[in-house]
Amino acid sequence: MNKFEGEVVERFLKYISFGTKSDPNSDSCPSSKSQIKLADFLADECKKIGLSDVICDNNGYVYACLPSNNKNYKSKIGFMAHMDTSPDFNGKNVSPRIIKNYDGGNVALNKEKIMSPQKFNVLKNYVSQDLIVTDGTSLLGADDKAGIAEIMTAINYLIKNNIEHGDIKIAFTPDEEIGRGVDKINLDNFDCDYAFTIDGGEIGELSYENFNAAKAKIIFYGKNIHPGEAKNIMVNSILIANEMINRFPKSETPATTEKKQGFYHVNYISGNVDKTELEYIIRDFDKKNFEARKDFIKKLVLDTKNEFGCEIDLKITDQYYNMRDKINNDLIEFMRKAFKKANIIPIERPMRGGTDGAMLSQKNIPCPNIFTGGHNFHGPYEFICIQSMCKAVEVIINLATQS
């Protein structure tokens, strides 16, 4: 057994017993009261292992510090993970199962849900390793309670073994899954020179690029009248909204793009003849292309308004930006060195999404993202490899002890 295995698994199983699904329809912070329960629990655990300046604030953020024990370390380093789970699927009453020495065959989560290597090809990478899976009725919560467990295990190891390190700051955040993870973060409590989110996927994953992101809300106003008397009078907002949707490039959707290709994604529509609402998300890695995409929507709205003679409201809101603009090559090499020391070949891939780290980077704390070892997040087929979790702990320790 790996020296980290017992602790990291025990912590992980403990944390996923808390149902912490965030709620996009709530304006409170955290968006769900259940997150406060885990936050309080984590604050107590931080105190128990000997961390200082432990705070659990009213917004559900947990902060802690491990002070430097070697004055030769000049930088303050931070580690961050989020407590909430995705609102996309049930996160309560998680019933995990450990599969020892996976044989490469089908994994029956329950009678209805079978995880096969034919459908989930990534399983083929984990033959003879140990997996933690769900019972098919909930997500697992590896996103991102695995990150929390790995950080806590690594920090506890540093303390117990009196290993030399610089100042280490820790933050566990609420509501990352609904894009609010650092909205109310207190940077006085997380005052580090650079940080790392432990919130990635497969072993070796290392991300220091992500989308620039915005959302667009478009409201079409029609004119309703009895259909029998509608000729040359009715303006059907549903038809106009549909016409606009068809004018977006069909080759630039999530289903038709990959790697560093950007897209437009219509993810909400609701309405009637009088009024129809559309919501789009806009994504692009390149800042210039990102701005061009927003301009495209503005022009499309104007053209549609002029053509159909109807009122259309448009509101575009930026959500986050590409962290690569804030992360220098020295920090990238620093991470590569930590991976190499753990005998891991980094898989350096851009994130087709965002993390707390992307938003934190815009607050001038560069914050790339590192793997947890999990797969198939946000649904019942989520699983994590125990050996990968142990390697994540090792990478965290390496990052914390490199000068």
Angle at which helix 142-160 crosses helix 34-48, to 10 degrees, equals 10
SS3 state of residue 191: coil
Torsion angle of the four alpha carbons 371, 377, 380, 385, in this order, in degrees rounded to the nearest 10? -10
Which entry of 84, 177, 202, 356 is annotated as an active-site residue? 84
Third-level CATH fold of 212-320: Alpha-Beta Plaits (3.30.70)
Strands 168-173 vs 194-200: parallel, antiparallel or unpaired: unpaired
Domain ranges of the chain: 5-209+322-401, 212-320
Q: Exposed, middle or buried: residue 251 (CB in 10 Å: 0-12, 13-18, 19+)?
A: exposed
Nearest to 207 by CA among 339, 346, 79, 375: 346
Per-residue exposure over 311-344, b if at least 16 CB sit within 10 Å of its own CB, e if not: ebebebeebbbbbbebbeeebbebbeebbeebeb
User: Which tokens hold the place of 60?
Assistant: 């559900």
Say how far apart CA 44 and CA 55 lie, in whole Å: 10
Distances, alpha carbon 251 to alpha carbons 167, 171, 265, 288, 316, in Å: 48, 40, 11, 19, 22
Q: 207: helix, coil or strand?
A: strand
Active site residue: 150, 176, 177, 199, which one?
A: 176
User: How confident is the model at residue 263, as a pLDDT?
Assistant: 98
Minimal CA–CA distance to 148: which of 365, 381, 393?
A: 393
What the block records as the tokens of 156 is: 């506890």
What pLDDT was estimated at residue 303? 96
Q: Which fold has domain 5-209+322-401?
A: Aminopeptidase (3.40.630)
Positions in the chain whose pLDDT score sits under 70: 403
344-359: pLDDT as tens digits: 999 999 988 878 898 8
pTM of the complete model beyond 0.95: no
Is 176 a known active-site residue?
A: yes
What's the confidence (pLDDT) of residue 3?
Answer: 94
Cβ 365 vs Cβ 354: under 8 Å:
no
Q: What is the CA radius of gyration of the chain?
A: 23
Q: Count the Cβ atoms, other than its own, within 10 Å of residue 267.
A: 10
150 has catalytic annotation: no
194 Cβ partners below 8 Å, 6+ apart? 75, 77, 78, 331, 365, 366, 367
